[in-house]
Amino acid sequence: MQTNSFKQLTVITGISTGIFIREGEMSFFGKSEGRKIHTRNIELSTYEYDSERLVIEGSLIEKRLFDFEYATGEKKPAGVIHHMTLRWLLNIGTFSIEDIDAEMIAVPHQECFETAGGLTNLKGMQIAAGFIVKIKELVGGTKGCSHLMALLTSMAPAAIQGYAAYHSQKPSGFGPLRSDALRFLVNSCQPWRSDGPLVQKYMK
């Protein structure tokens, strides 16, 4: 019985980029690839707005790749079943959401359009520890839409990366904000755990 479906892998470092890349072949749990039947793609982007704010944009597109039937019994042709875009106007200094915009481009039911209204409750919120828990309280479950929630929970870490990209392109880099940027990383994942080697190396 095959216990590890991953073939031998090699870790290499990009000479020009310094990015670690894992190379090699991979099978799907020991079985050849089957027919793709569904996709959900989330794209996240950061745009400069002015000297004090950024626009964080998230877009979700979900498709069924064959004619299908909803659980309600409605039959539908293959195609997009969810397409929505969210935008935050993010204050760089306070890391708070000044404004929010939602586009419900394609949804399965007319009632789905109502879920965007609750997003105004996020105005003024600061992206900090506990942010995901708070937005689930405000717009999760019966107060909102699970697809919008998927976007929201993806946009928070993307905002941090966008913030980093904004500062890292400057000739001076992060400058005095470097320590603030590093604090975002502490305990965000296993490599950046507070007692780990990366924190010891860069924050001591």
Regarding whether 102 and 198 lie in a shared domain, the answer is no
pLDDT digits (tens, 9 = 90+) for 53-76: 999 999 999 999 999 999 999 999
pLDDT digits (tens, 9 = 90+) for 149-164: 999 999 999 999 998 8
Distances (CA, A) of 181 to 81, 124, 145, 200: 38, 21, 31, 15
How far is Cα 98 from Cα 122, in angstroms, rounded to an integer?
9
Percent of the chain with pLDDT over 70: 84
Regarding whether 94 and 190 lie in a shared domain, the answer is no
Residue 17: inside a domain: no
The residue segments making up the domain with residue 89 are: 36-168
Regarding whether 157 and 57 lie in a shared domain, the answer is yes
Percent of the chain with pLDDT over 90: 58
DSSP 117: G
DSSP 26: B
Regarding whether 186 and 158 lie in a shared domain, the answer is no
- Pick the range with the lowest mean pLDDT from 121-125, 168-172, 189-193: 168-172
Is the pTM for the entire model greater than 0.75?
Answer: yes
How far is Cα 40 from Cα 63, in angstroms, rounded to an integer?
6
